[in-house]
């Protein structure tokens, strides 16, 4: 069979069936959609597209995207098996978007909020210079407009094709989030499967409330890398959301069907109790 025909057969199968990344069970796509892409056999919360995430979380028709046309360059002239610009072009063709994060504003149960949503299908949700720029800009917009921020992470970490410029985005985004905190505005971090590397080590774990979906892989280096490095067998469930919650690194693990309601409740609590001015409690002179 020709390569083109093989690819078409695989795409047709993917349009009908979904494989669970945890238990490898095969799900009928329509049934998976009805279950919000949660495996009925093992409960694994499968990856969502940005559009699916917005559909589940924000008020219908409320999302307005920012910085739509920002697209990465090739600052290092990087080439491995193919040139970096070709990898970017392939990811853009695959996903229909210019970068691995979508940022904008929306409402959740009529409360305005600034959002950043990673797309793992775009180069593993890796964070390069444009991803860092878009996240920083939406946080700065939130500070200017007095909005809370929610980031939905799904990433393999910093983008190696941009070298240290990619690593710099960790500090850049965190600095913007520190300005948000200084303005007395809340930041909620929602980590989905997987959230690893530089994204987990920076913006993923510094929320006022850190939330994860069930069984999400969250950590810096992956379990296989750690085992190969230290030559030790890791505990069961290591780096999964429930393990992190048990060891105090998360505030809550929330099922997908409940996430919209939980976010709305948290926004109400945090925004309504926020100080009138940075550093002042309500009612103070």
Closest by alpha carbon to 210, among 253, 179, 265? 253
Predicted confidence at residue 272, as pLDDT, reads 80
Predicted confidence at residue 273, as pLDDT, reads 67
Q: Could you give the domains of the chain?
A: 1-46 (no CATH), 47-272 (3.90.226.10)
Closest by alpha carbon to 64, among 5, 107, 20? 107
- For residue 4, what are its two tokens? 């083109």
DSSP assignment letter at 157: -
Residues 157, 174, 204: CA angle, nearest 5 degrees: 45
Place of tokens 């393990």: 243
b vs e for 205-238, b when ≥16 Cβ sit within 10 Å of the residue's Cβ?
Answer: bebbbbbbbbbbbbbbbbeeebeeeeeeeeeeee
Residues 6+ positions from 33 with CB-CB distance below 8 Å: none
Predicted confidence at residue 152, as pLDDT, reads 98
Task: Tell me how crowded residue 131 is: count the other CB atoms within 10 A of its CB.
Answer: 29
Place of tokens 């490898």: 24
Residues lower than pLDDT 70 in the chain: 1-14, 273-285
Asked if 22 contacts 224 with a C-beta cutoff of 8 angstroms, the reply is no
SS3 of residue 162 by DSSP: helix
Sign of CA dihedral 58, 249, 138, 180: positive
Predicted confidence at residue 200, as pLDDT, reads 97
Give pTM, 2 decimals.
Answer: 0.90
Predicted confidence at residue 279, as pLDDT, reads 46
Place of tokens 């600052």: 75
Distance from first CA to last CA of the chain, Å, rounded?
76
Report the distance separating Cα 194 and Cα 22, nearest Å.
12
Sign of CA dihedral 213, 214, 219, 221: negative
Alpha-carbon Rg for the chain in angstroms? 19
Predicted confidence at residue 276, as pLDDT, reads 55
Report the distance separating Cα 200 and Cα 220, nearest Å.
6
Predicted confidence at residue 163, as pLDDT, reads 95
SS3 of residue 80 by DSSP: coil
């Amino acid at each position: 069979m020709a390569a083109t025909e093989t690819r078409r057969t695989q795409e047709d199968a993917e349009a009908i069936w979904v494989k669970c990344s945890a238990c490898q069970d095969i799900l009928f796509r329509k049934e998976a959609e009805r279950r919000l892409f949660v495996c009925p056999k093992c409960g694994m919360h499968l990856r969502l597209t940005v559009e699916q995430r917005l559909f589940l979380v924000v008020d219908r028709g409320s999302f307005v995207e920012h910085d739509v046309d920002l697209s990465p360059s090739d600052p290092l002239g990087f080439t491995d098996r193919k040139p970096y610009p070709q990898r970017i072009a392939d990811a853009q063709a695959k996903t229909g978007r210019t970068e691995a994060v979508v940022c904008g504003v929306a409402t959740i149960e009529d409360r305005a909020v600034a959002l950043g949503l990673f797309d793992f299908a775009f180069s593993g949700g890796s964070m390069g210079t444009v991803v860092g720029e878009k996240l920083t800009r939406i946080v700065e917009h939130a500070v200017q407009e007095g909005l809370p921020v929610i980031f939905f992470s799904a990433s393999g970490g910093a983008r190696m094709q941009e070298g240290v410029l990619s690593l710099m985005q960790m500090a850049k985004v965190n600095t913007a989030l520190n300005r948000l905190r200084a303005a007395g505005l809340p930041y909620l971090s929602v980590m989905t499967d997987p959230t690893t590397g530089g994204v987990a080590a920076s913006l993923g774990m510094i929320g006022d409330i850190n939330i994860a979906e069930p069984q999400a892989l969250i950590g810096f280096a992956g379990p296989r890398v750690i085992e190969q490095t230290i030559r030790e067998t890791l505990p069961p469930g290591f780096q999964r959301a429930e393990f992190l919650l048990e060891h105090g690194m998360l505030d809550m693990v929330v099922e997908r069907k409940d996430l919209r309601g939980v976010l709305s409740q948290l926004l109400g609590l945090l925004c309504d109790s926020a100080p009138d001015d940075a550093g002042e409690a309500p009612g103070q002179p």
